[in-house]
Amino acid sequence: MFCVVVLNTPTKVSFKVTDEEFGDLTVRPGIIPAPYVARYKWIMVEDITVFNNKVWQHYITQSYQLVKSKLPKKIVSQLK
């Protein structure tokens, strides 16, 4: 799991970020530490308009890579 989307109104999105980004992003309006998984550097975007499409693409792709990098090699080989 690298991204969680709550489709209720308002839409909320949670995903993993780098340690450095976590502190910077969680002080921005509309972004909070993700409940239950903040200790793993996950954030929750409560206002999806805070990012444009390019920034969304960056963070979702980065989250995928961060989570994938921690998986066992056997699991990673099955993802290809």
Residue 79, pLDDT score: 83
Residue 80, pLDDT score: 65
Contacts of residue 66, Cβ cutoff 8 Å, sequence gap at least 6: 2, 16, 17, 18
Residue found by looking up tokens 């975007």 in the block: 45
pTM to 2 decimals? 0.91
C-beta of residue 44 within 8 angstroms of C-beta of residue 31: yes
Each residue of 10-46: pLDDT tens digit?
Answer: 999 999 999 999 999 999 999 999 999 999 999 999 9
Each residue of 46-69: pLDDT tens digit?
Answer: 999 999 999 999 999 999 999 999
The Cα 6–Cα 76 span in angstroms is 26
Compute the radius of gyration of the chain from its Cα atoms. 13
Please give the angle made by the CA atoms of 38, 16 and 64, to the nearest 5 degrees.
Answer: 155
pLDDT of 2 over the 90 cut: yes
